[in-house]
Amino acid sequence: MGARTLGQPRTDVESCESTQSLIDTSLPEGALVVADHQTAGRGRLGRSWDAPAGTALLFSLLLKPPAERNPREISLVAGVAVADTIERMIELAVQLKWPNDVMLRRTKVAGILAELRDGAVVLGIGMNVNQTREQLPAGAGSLRTASGREWDRETVLQSLLEDLTSRYLAWVEGGLDAVYDGLAPRDFLRGRRVSVDGTSGTAAAIDREGRLLVEVAHGDLRPIESGEVLYER
């Protein structure tokens, strides 16, 4: 990809079903689709992702990582970049709930969907920016609800594209180790009682392969590769 910032070529649409579907994988790495509104936004595990028009950041980015990298790690890399951006802008600690949720003040402020397609990764990010409390589902927050002010979405997007570029290039070069400094200290689940697809215990850490380590009995750590985490608040 070279040294340029991810985000080119860029397509902006007023409304679409999902920016994920508008990414053409024959485009060069870094291609970006941004929508003001989605009518059928997709979340992980078949869920939907909704936001009122004009309030959120909704975009998809085309990535073509080298074969030696595990593309499943991209959700974590992107989460680190989103956390970097939010912390720099609003000076509140951001946490990452493995594997793909960005948490601010114990509410979900952004979600990440990394889909493998044609050997590439279509990375979708939805960030709640200017939604009011009433416009958000239970358990969700926005930059506005956390900071008490509205944000310019284009400024947030430019900042995030810079952080995504820098964290992604570091990962391409050095793998998850190279971004681990932004991941391990922000582990939202660490120390919490969790249950993931039948495995229950205490979340101990995210390891250097990006797996969630769950302590099921004293000293017995089970690595979880993927799944839906239920946790006690």
> In the window 12-71, what residues touch ligand BTN (CB under 6 A)?
18-20, 38, 41-44, 47, 49, 58-60
CB nearer ligand BTN, residue 47 or residue 106: 47
> Which region, judged by CB under 6 A, interacts with ligand BTN, from 78-86, 121-129, 164-172, 178-186?
121-129
Residue (of 119, 116, 146, 144) closest to 132 by Cα position? 144
Residue (of 1, 4, 3, 7) closest to 161 by Cα position = 7
The verdict on 128 binding ligand BTN (CB under 6 A) reads: no
Closest CB to ligand BTN among residues 33, 224: 33
Report which DSSP code applies to 42.
B
Q: With respect to ligand BTN, which residue has the nearer C-beta, 42 or 175?
A: 42
Token pair belonging to 33: 């689709």
Tell me how far apart the alpha carbons of residues 232 and 215 are, in angstroms, rounded to a whole number: 15
Query: Among 30, 111, 175, 182, which residue sits at the site for ligand BTN (rule: CB under 6 A)?
Result: 111
Q: In what order do the strands lie in the sheet with 10-16?
A: 10-16, 32-38, 56-63, 120-128, 107-117, 101-104, 94-97
Interface ranges with ligand BTN (CB under 6 A): 18-20, 38, 41-44, 47, 49, 58-60, 100-101, 111-113, 124-126
